[in-house]
Amino acid sequence: MHPKRWTRTEYHRLGELGLLGTDRWELLQGTIYQIPLPTPREATSIRRAMSALLTFGAEHIRVRLPIVLSSEDEPEPDIAITTNTADAYTEQHPGPEDIRLLVEVSSSTIQDDLTTKAGLYARAGIPEYWVLDVENRRLYVHRNPGSNGWGDIRNLAETESVTPLAAPQASIPVAILLG
């Protein structure tokens, strides 16, 4: 017996038919996963990260909205910084070429964010991916993506700062992201 792998088309059809209910879901490698509600700590960190990333301009920040990576991948990262403004995505969600930075804020999903999603984002060529570990108060910065993973992964403490590749003028203290 083999599990069913879903395509984005089938996944969207399930949603249109109401079969996914009102819960939040994402499609990763052909598998549909329920997205857990953020804990209060995660929600606070998402808001703080969004505020810290305003250097990109609010019209380039997407919070908990889909991106398209392939016919079997439509994740919903906590924050996506896009090259275009929101109006550019009225007909389709942004793809890898539209992404400057992705951020996941994690506690219960930390292992999936550091393995499954990290691999998916690297293979898609996302230039930079951050995982904010709210429980251990760390920021994992992934850069130099490739088909075999990330060429550069940094583990930053809350006493350190990070400069986004796409905003070299910005220096963001990790403590600001964590609260």
DSSP string, 151-168: EEEEEEETTSEE--TT-T
**What is the average pLDDT across 21-40?**
92
**How many structural domains does the chain have?**
1
Percent of the chain surpassing pLDDT 90: 91
Instruction: Give the sign of the dihedral formed by CA 10, CA 15, CA 19, CA 24.
Output: positive
Give the domain extent around 106. 36-178
List pLDDT tens digits, range 45-74.
999 999 999 999 999 999 999 999 999 999
Q: Give domain status of residue 4, yes or no.
A: no
| pLDDT value, residue 107 | 87
CATH number at residue 165: 3.90.1570.10
| pLDDT value, residue 2 | 81
Instruction: Tell me how crowded residue 50 is: count the other CB atoms within 10 A of its CB.
Output: 19
Using pLDDT thresholds of 50, 70 and 90, give the confidence band for residue 108: confident
| Largest separation between any pair of C-alpha atoms in the chain | 53
Coil, strand or helix: which one is 55?
A: helix
Q: Give domain status of residue 29, yes or no.
A: no
**Percentage helix, strand, coil for the chain under 3-state DSSP, each rounded to 5:** 30, 30, 40
**What is the average pLDDT across 16-41?**
92
